[in-house]
């Protein structure tokens, strides 16, 4: 999910000028329609073990904050 939000931010939101919430919503809708019409799969480069190790480490760090 983070990668999708990075893409929409870099490819559409950051490059735009929006004078209202409605303009922003229209830009997001147009981006989604274009992306759905021309889908490209995400290619994962991290292994499941590497991802789970990061999740475990993050949980450990969060527990030290309490």
Interval 9-28: pLDDT, tens: 998 999 889 999 999 999 99
Q: Give pLDDT tens digits for 39-60.
A: 988 888 889 999 999 999 999 9
- At a CB cut-off of 8 Å and minimum separation 6, what does 18 contact? 24, 27
Q: Is pLDDT of 1 > 80?
A: no
pLDDT band at 2 (very low <50, low <70, confident <90, very high): confident
Residues 6+ apart with CB under 8 A from 31: 8, 11, 12
Residue holding tokens 């939000």?
5
Q: Which pLDDT score is estimated for 52? A: 94
pLDDT band at 66 (very low <50, low <70, confident <90, very high): low
């Amino acid at each position: 999910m983070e990668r999708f939000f990075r893409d929409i931010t870099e490819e559409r939101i950051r490059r735009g000028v929006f004078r209202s919430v409605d303009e922003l919503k229209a830009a997001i809708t147009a981006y989604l329609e274009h992306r759905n019409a021309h889908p490209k799969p995400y290619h994962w480069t991290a292994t499941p073990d590497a991802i789970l190790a990061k999740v475990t480490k993050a949980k450990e760090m969060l527990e030290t904050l309490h």
